[in-house]
Amino acid sequence: MKKALLSAACLLAIAFPVHGDVRAIYTLLESESYSEIAPIKQLLDDLKGPAFDRGDLAFTHNQFEIGERRGSWEVSAFLRYDYLLEFSNDTAELAYADKNDKELEKQRNYQLYLEPNHLRAKGLGLAYYIDLPANSHLKLRANYLRAEALTDGTLRGQLRTLDDRVEADLVLDYNYSRDALLKREEENMRGNGLSIDIDLHWQFARQWSLDIAARDLASEIRWNDVTYTRATAISNTVSYDDDGFIDVKPTVSGIEGYRDHSQTLPRRIATTLSHQWRSNVAFSAGLRSVDKYLFPQLKASWVQAGTQWQLGVDIEQQALMFGVNYQGLKVDLESDAFKPDDAKTFGLRLSYQWLL
């Protein structure tokens, strides 16, 4: 997959070189977070607070970047922090009960599933711009990642609450730099990897265009001698305490050790179909994906007094979007609540470009 993408990129670069001598320095700060079950602040506070909604997804992506473009080439340096957390609703209920001292419902089967994918890294990017026919263009970018933090694995199983005890059959298999579950002593480690980004603008008709922005379209980060745990929990390690709350004993039946691990980052892809309704007004419909999760969007933009404005809505996240672009400064904001403490969705993107 990666070799095929690189080969295609080289062929396109030879066939359609970029003309002109663009020189610019830019800086970028982007942050987006989403929690399906509870406000982001409550999730960061270990779910302490009011009862939450049903759901199975939470994620965050944060990146700071500075770079320079000269003609067809662009180089950049960046810091990034990513976390994708998939889980069953039963797992969220158990976590909420534990953090808020709530008694579990008796005579019930809980289906447990938890799959985190976390990365903290710094890196370098190298991009190439390609002019295509009909005012279309393509940007290909390769990123080198020097990773410093990792969580990647799964927790699966069942937990049944009886009147006087809890029966559990859980299987844990995950790699980590910090053990959040069994509190194994933290160790320093490093990973190295690559990821591929692609941006395409296709002007397929006079008033119609298609934009695709793909991040981590292909990726692999290799970790050597990373700490891991493969363990099971059975019924005699889980019970109720004197107050009737669940009590999980830290007894581990399994393996703690070191192994090589290959981590793949979730793809983030945004596809937008735009129609230039008038010379200064455009409408667009988009579909954004994070891993296998889809988020449809609708937007309207217009230009007034040299400033581009944008309003939109994310249908799945029920969030409003606002953007402004003025003389190289771009600001984009997204939220589903006016009070930050109530927001399940929050996105902020700031960028500025200095032409040289």
Quick: pLDDT tens for 78-113.
999 999 999 999 999 999 998 898 888 888 999 999
> Which amino acid makes up residue 336?
D
> Which amino acid makes up residue 121?
A
Q: Write down the pLDDT at residue 8.
A: 47
Rg (CA), the chain: 24
Of 243 and 301, the structure prediction assigns the larger pLDDT to 301
Q: Write down the pLDDT at residue 247.
A: 61
Quick: pLDDT tens for 228-260.
999 887 765 555 666 666 565 545 567 889 999
Q: Write down the pLDDT at residue 248.
A: 58
Q: Taking a C-beta distance cutoff of 8 angstroms, is the pair 176, 185 a contact?
A: no
The secondary structure of 271-327 as a DSSP string is EEEEEEEETTEEEEEEEEEETTEEEEEEEEEEEETTEEEEEEEETTTTEEEEEEEET
**Local confidence band at 303 (pLDDT 50, 70, 90 cut-offs):** very high
pLDDT over 80 at 174, yes or no = yes
pLDDT over 60 at 20, yes or no = no
CA distance 78 to 351: 13
Give the CA dihedral 222, 224, 227, 228, nearest 10 degrees. Answer: 60
CA distance 218 to 4: 11
Average pLDDT over residues 108-127: 96
